[in-house]
Each structure stands twice: as structure tokens, then as C-alpha cells.
């Protein structure tokens, strides 16, 4: 990124709803309008970008595609404000603007040879998706991949087709949950922290990555400790706190850390003594 203030126009290749409802989630698959931007664009799993429409606003979102998926970026966006409502009105062929990539990334090079457990809830699966895809595309470099994911209902699950593919191809062991029982639901019924204890992954040579609602993360962290995971074996991302993305507005600080400059990816060891990180 040569200048963090310069937004790049992207064209929407595909737009599809992941979930229904007032706070629906829509995934946009985009490519740069100027193909030369790809020559200088480089991101890694965990990084974010500012996404917006001129005259409307811009908001920070994780990049929900892995850099191993060439020629496009993905953003999975929940409808919950002026900018996201305007973005949701866009369809394939329309355009918006992207500024980034911003922030740090998951240290996937350091995790080579380890088992990786992702634990997501709701839209919190979006930053975990590129981690999963990166490992799938570099499968020999990593140990077992365990995916734990839950949402309120089966309709609220993001990336439904990909979980089915993961289970069928054998790249990962997927464990899905919904909060309340539904007729025909074949998987776990209960909250994600409960499912984590049901799966009970071993902490030996393992890394756990979690993202979701703060209350879910709070109990996931407690349960990971019960399972024997140490704080330096656990990672999360706090990108929802960022505003400018480049350390100028001062809005995203938690304790002595700035999420946009020092994160958004943190180990639990870095933030476990900062209560506002999980507020």
C-alpha cells in the first residue's frame, strides 16, 4: 500500500446473501477496476480494509478471502448502518471503493506444523474464513484443522456451502451448532462455548483462533483455559473497533494498544489483562 488515504475502485463480480433478516449478511466478491492495482496489493489472513461509497461513508471490514484465492477479494458485510445499508443495495456490476490492506495478520507462518482450531460465532466467522482457506491451500504445512462454528439458527450460518464441502473433502473436521433446536438439524444444539467443550480439542501442539460476539469470546476463552490452552496459544481479532485504520483518530485504543496499529490480530496473552478488549 503506497498511500493509505487512496481508495481503489472495485467492481462487484458476485453479490449474495449469506443470512436473512434485518441484520442480514451479504458477501461481495470484487476485483479492482484498474487491474494494475493487483501489482501492488498484498494482504494476509486477518487484515482489513476500509470499504465505502463516495458521499455515503466508509467502514472497516475484514477481508474474508484468503490471498491464495487469486484475482478477487471478498467482504462479508452485516447490514447495520448507513454505509452498510447502501452497500447492501449494490449488485454484480456495481462498484464501491476499498482502502487498504490495513492492520496486522494472523501469524500463520509461525503456526506451521501445528493443529489449528477455529472457533467462530455469527459474522465472526468472516475473519476465520481466510485462515481456513489458507490452511486448505497449504495443507501439507499444517496439522489437523478443526472448525467449530455456531449461530442462532441454521439460517444465520454464514458460508453454509463451504462447511458442507469441508466435511465432504476431509480437509477439516467441522462441528456446527445452533442455539435452539430445529426440526431436521443433525448437529449440536447449544452455544458455541458448550460445543467447544463437547469437541474438547487437545492443546498439545495446537493453536486456537476465535472470533464472534464478545460474550461468546468471553466463555470460549474460559473454556479454552479449562482445556489446558495457554494464553499464547489463543488468538482473536478486534477489527470492529477501528475507524480510520491508520492510527490517526484514536478511537480504537484498548488499554495501551491501538487496534489499527497493533492489531487487529492479538494473542490472548497480549490482551487478557485489558477488560475493555472484550467489552
pLDDT, tens only, 90-121: 999 999 999 999 999 999 999 999 999 999 99
Where is 99: in which H helix or E strand?
Answer: strand 95-102
Tell me what pLDDT residue 240 has: 60
Higher per-residue confidence, 279 vs 176:
176
Helix, strand, coil percentages in the chain from 3-state DSSP, rounded to 5: 30, 30, 40
Q: Are strands 145-151 and 234-237 parallel, antiparallel or unpaired?
A: unpaired
Average pLDDT over residues 10-19: 97
What distance in Å separates the CA atoms of residue 143 and residue 23, rounded to the nearest whole number?
A: 36
Query: Alpha helix locations (H) across 23-159?
Result: 82-88, 129-137
Q: Is the pLDDT of residue 244 over 60?
A: yes
Tell me what pLDDT residue 222 has: 95
Average pLDDT over residues 173-179: 96
Q: Is the pLDDT of residue 239 over 70?
A: no
Task: Report if pTM > 0.75.
Answer: yes
Tell me what pLDDT residue 261 has: 79
Tell me what pLDDT residue 131 has: 98
Sign of CA dihedral 224, 220, 142, 102: negative
Which tens digit of pLDDT belongs to each residue from 31-41? 999 999 999 99
Residue 250 — pLDDT band, cuts 50, 70, 90?
A: confident
Query: Alpha helix locations (H) across the chain?
Result: 82-88, 129-137, 160-169, 192-199, 214-227, 259-262, 268-271
What distance in Å separates the CA atoms of residue 61 and residue 240, rounded to the nearest whole number?
A: 7
Residue 241 — pLDDT band, cuts 50, 70, 90?
A: low
Tell me what pLDDT residue 35 has: 95
Amino acid at each position: 500500500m503506497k498511500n493509505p488515504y487512496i481508495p481503489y475502485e472495485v467492481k462487484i463480480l458476485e453479490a449474495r446473501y449469506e443470512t436473512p433478516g434485518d441484520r442480514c449478511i451479504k458477501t461481495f466478491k470484487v476485483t479492482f477496476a484498474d487491474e494494475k492495482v493487483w501489482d501492488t496489493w498484498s494482504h494476509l489472513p486477518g487484515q482489513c480494509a476500509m470499504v465505502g461509497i463516495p458521499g455515503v461513508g466508509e467502514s472497516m471490514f475484514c477481508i474474508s478471502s484468503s490471498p491464495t484465492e487469486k484475482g478477487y477479494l471478498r467482504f462479508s458485510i452485516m447490514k447495520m448502518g448507513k454505509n452498510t445499508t447502501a452497500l447492501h443495495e449494490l449488485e454484480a456490476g456495481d462498484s464501491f471503493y476499498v482502502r487498504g490492506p490495513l492492520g496486522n495478520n494472523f501469524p500463520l507462518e509461525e503456526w506451521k506444523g501445528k493443529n489449528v482450531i477455529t472457533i467462530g460465532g455469527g459474522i465472526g466467522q468472516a475473519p476465520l474464513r481466510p485462515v481456513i482457506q489458507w490452511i486448505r491451500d497449504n495443507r501439507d504445512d499444517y496439522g489437523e484443522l478443526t472448525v467449530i462454528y455456531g449461530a442462532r439458527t441454521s439460517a444465520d450460518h454464514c458460508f453454509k456451502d463451504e462447511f458442507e464441502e469441508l466435511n465432504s473433502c476431509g480437509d477439516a473436521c467441522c462441528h456446527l451448532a445452533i442455539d435452539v433446536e430445529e426440526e431436521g438439524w443433525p448437529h449440536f444444539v447449544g452455544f458455541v462455548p458448550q460445543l467447544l467443550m463437547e469437541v474438547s480439542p487437545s492443546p498439545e501442539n495446537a493453536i486456537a483462533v476465535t472470533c464472534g460476539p464478545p460474550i461468546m469470546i468471553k466463555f470460549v476463552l474460559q473454556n479454552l483455559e479449562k482445556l489446558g490452552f495457554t494464553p499464547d496459544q489463543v488468538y482473536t481479532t478486534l477489527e470492529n473497533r477501528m475507524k480510520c485504520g491508520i492510527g490517526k483518530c484514536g478511537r480504537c485504543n484498548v488499554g495501551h494498544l491501538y487496534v489499527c496499529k497493533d492489531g487487529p490480530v492479538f494473542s490472548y496473552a497480549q490482551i487478557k489483562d485489558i477488560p475493555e478488549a472484550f467489552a
